[in-house]
Amino acid sequence: MPVWLSAVGGGVVFLLCAHLVGRLRAGGGRPSSVRDEATSTLIRDLQKSVSRLEGDNAALTHLFQLLPDFTKKMNSRIERREIPMQVMRVVEQMFAPSQILIFLLEERLGKFALVRQMGLPPDFANGFQVEYGEGRIGWVAQHGMAMDVDDFIREKRLTGANLDMPAHFQFNVELCAPMKHEDKVRGVISVGGITRHYKHEKAIMGLIADQGSIALYNYDLFTKTQEMANCDGLTKLFNKRFFLEKLSSIILEASKGHHPFSVFIFDLDHFKHYNDTQGHQAGDEVLRTTGELVRDTLRPDDFAARYGGEEFIVLLAHAPKDGAMQAANRLRQRVASHPFLNRDSQPLKIVSLSGGVATYPDDGLSSADLIAAADAALYRAKRDGRDRVFASEPKYFSDETEDPVYNVQGG
């Protein structure tokens, strides 16, 4: 226990003892039975006060033991997906609850998505969304203030707010705090089944939430700065150089964690024809819109770049081949259905893409091998009629030559 906490505790105990002695002296003229009862009452009060003081000191000591390492991690170059994990870890150590729910704001949807949880049934998947004002979680998100059970009961009694949503019946929200920074709520932390209660637990939870919100803000700020320095000006996606740097670091991370990821490379079909018939300004608008569709379709942890000309490349984080093919075809369908200007002048009567998917480590252990495997699958998609995505195949399944043409431009 820190010296200053012990000193504070000792000082309070001394004052309480002095108060007790004073009370006993003041009652010196009373009958002994009355004095004994008064003494017993004061001793019980003193014991309760000391017990509360010890509990508060223990809570502060525990918090100050956890806080330096937690703060250091939150202020380091931490990935967005790691922030909820670190927050959940310190909340679990502090409160020992049976349930922890962490929601983060999905900017595009204007909703809060469950990104990390402990204590929900196994079939309850991450991604569950809560709107502003919806239930206890949504109320805290909308009003930006920490709440406990008593606060929720009082709010419901005073305003009639519907804080218990049927869809949230599996949420045990005893203590809830917003991850708020610069008047913007970026997430919400909820705990239930708390076994370690503290006098100032709302303030403690608020402190943890503040650290998480600052980490989210710093990540967003760093990402925006990074994007400005490493973005393609037309499509607003990353440039090729930066993508290759990122891919190398992801390969190193995946080799340590033994988890897969996929690379999806594609280009726009008959783009030269579109440029020649519609003009380069119209062609640039197609490229710009394609970049926008890519950004709107991918998940926050995915990573996309303009690879060159009309060719694009996407890193699909933690995605095995089946999941990557689903994501790639979802993007292909969005491009094919988009009402590009004069798209019916194209040979396929639409602006379409052809692509290939390769997965680490099955299709390659290096950047060059993965991109080559995805590019070979892209070449097969072109030969097979375009407007499709193929997965990379092991070499013994492929009918390609030993030296396939990997870079198809302008097709």
The residue assigned the tokens 């009567």 is: 349
| Calpha distance 185→212 (Å, rounded) | 11
Q: How confident is the model at residue 54 (pLDDT cuts 50, 70, 90)?
A: low
Model confidence pLDDT, tens digit, residues 174-230: 999 999 998 899 999 999 999 988 888 999 999 999 999 999 998 888 888 877 788
Contacts of 223 (CB under 8 A, 6+ apart): none
| Calpha distance 113→268 (Å, rounded) | 33
Using CB atoms within 10 Å of the CB of residue 213, give its burial: 0 to 12 exposed, 13 to 18 middle, 19+ buried.
buried
| Calpha distance 114→104 (Å, rounded) | 7
Q: What percent of the chain has pLDDT over 70?
A: 81
- Compute the average pLDDT of residues 312-333: 96
The answer to whether residues 296 and 108 touch, using CB atoms and an 8 Å cutoff, is: yes
| Calpha distance 243→15 (Å, rounded) | 65
Model confidence pLDDT, tens digit, residues 237-280: 999 999 999 999 999 989 888 889 999 999 999 999 999 999 99
Cα 216 off chain centre by: 8
The strand order across the sheet containing 261-268 reads: 303-308, 311-316, 261-268, 353-360, 389-391
